[in-house]
Structure 1
């Protein structure tokens, strides 16, 4: 496809506006629509064509990008528009199941579909060195045809034909991030009322978490092989014993352990099942059990 492929963008929140500006700066003819029309007006001065309705915006171009509030918004905005022959790229945050449903919905209306999970915040868009990227899944043909255009705002990472995989990768990584934030919050609570410089501690915390992140690869290897003992340095028996010290310290410091205890409880269950020489990879299997 031509580098300067024209496209339509539906949704001009902070992320949508950042996306719009990168495409305009790169010379792509861009038609935009937003439910609150005033948000679109500044982009007109930068070369965007403002559509009065979503249907008008969809009719303007073959490539349609949606960056809306939620999946329900995608349905309500696109209902009544003619998607036949269109290429629909949905960058709206969603779940894997809803992405798959939306893919079927789009295909029933004659459109190719690609779902995207944005691994960036608005200031990272249009900044190649920021490390941001978008997970894409769904129609490989659509991605192949429009890769150059989709790569303008940030990096492109294709994760498969299953339309739910982009959202799944997005949510899985965000879930890991949430767990990290929980651990950081507990750590700061432990030292909050002590004569310890928070900025100095922050550097130690950052370095420690960076080092420990390397264990993600070992966990993957163990899960794939089924050998949960290989490469274990701190076994489950040691870690569960160590948890008692973490909990006692929290008590001494007047800190609630509620961010830690769910994971610790799973480790204790795993140990009770007879896995003292294993690492903690078996916790994954416990999470998948429904008994």
Structure 2
């Protein structure tokens, strides 16, 4: 991999995130070309040393970073641009099927295609806290100016899959915290008071993941800590408490329903990760 701040970079798409990407490359010393449908969005970057490309074709360089609305916008914008010899790093949000389809399309146009996902907010770009997931052909140039680069493998769909899996994790944790916060508010406990305890619980659960992952990969779920049927009784208390307090019980009911199905299928004596089988099957 080339680690050279002199590598020219092009950034296409100058929303909040695209602007942050371009600014990080400029700060790291990369000659940076930018393009956006609304050219005025490039004014601040041009003032900082970026070159504004007059057309999308002129913007395409040896390394071109895409940060657009969606994958359809990528295909629409680049359809007639001439991609031969260009390495596209697509940091546009989408799903894994779109990533693979776009990779095949770009390669037919003569481009080298790397898909990616940004696990950060714009203000974090350029710091170690910004994690950039990449998949597809391993990049032969350095993107460390953007943050912490995590290369996942040759399958161009992996970055999008990890992105969605990460969002699932994020929203599930936040929703669980909001459920607990709503319950405690009925007793006059505010969110700030509950948050440290909730954070401790979340960190403790995170420590279980390596062991639970081992059970899933072995497809063996001995009840080393607690059997699912025991957990289901606690879930019933969570539903009952929510309803008694006048708090929305949809989330705990959903969790309990999945556990009940697994128990009905004969898995009540196994440990909680056996619920992976419920997650693996399509909803009815």
Same fold (TM over 0.5): yes
Q: Which runs of 5+ in 1 are unaligned?
A: none
- In structure 2, the residue matched to 1:164 is 157
TM-score (normalised: structure 2) = 0.95
Does structure 1 residue 92 correspond to structure 2 residue 85?
A: no
Task: Give 1:215 shift.
Answer: 1.9
Deviations 1:168-215 (A, max 9, x none): 111111111111111111111112232223212111111111111112
Partners of 1:192 and 1:34 lie apart in 2 by 47
- Paired residues, number: 281
Partners of 2:9 and 2:275 lie apart in 1 by 45
Partners of 1:186 and 1:122 lie apart in 2 by 29
Partners of 1:249 and 1:3 lie apart in 2 by 58
- In structure 1, the residue matched to 2:252 is 260
For the 8 Å contact 2:127–2:148, the answer to whether it is kept is: no
For the 8 Å contact 2:126–2:146, the answer to whether it is kept is: yes
Partners of 1:75 and 1:228 lie apart in 2 by 45
Partners of 2:251 and 2:235 lie apart in 1 by 13
- In structure 1, the residue matched to 2:49 is 47
Task: Give 1:132 shift.
Answer: 2.1
Deviations 1:57-77 (A, max 9, x none): 11xx21111011111111111
For the 8 Å contact 1:12–1:40, the answer to whether it is kept is: yes
Task: Give 1:133 shift.
Answer: 1.0
Partners of 1:197 and 1:274 lie apart in 2 by 41
- In structure 2, the residue matched to 1:209 is 202
Q: Which runs of 5+ in 2 are unaligned?
A: none
- In structure 1, the residue matched to 2:266 is 274
Task: Give 1:253 shift.
Answer: 0.9
For the 8 Å contact 2:117–2:159, the answer to whether it is kept is: yes
- In structure 2, the residue matched to 1:102 is 102
TM-score (normalised: structure 1) = 0.93
Deviations 1:232-262 (A, max 9, x none): 3121011111111111110111011112222
For the 8 Å contact 2:238–2:252, the answer to whether it is kept is: no
Matches within 5 A, 1:68-147: 68-128=68-128, 131-140=129-138, 143=139, 145-146=140-141
Q: Partner of 1:94: helix, strand, or coil?
A: coil
Q: Partner of 1:134: helix, strand, or coil?
A: strand
Deviations 1:52-100 (A, max 9, x none): 2211211xx2111101111111111111111001111000011111000
Does structure 1 residue 199 correspond to structure 2 residue 192?
A: yes
Q: Partner of 2:267: helix, strand, or coil?
A: coil
Task: Give 1:283 shift.
Answer: 1.6
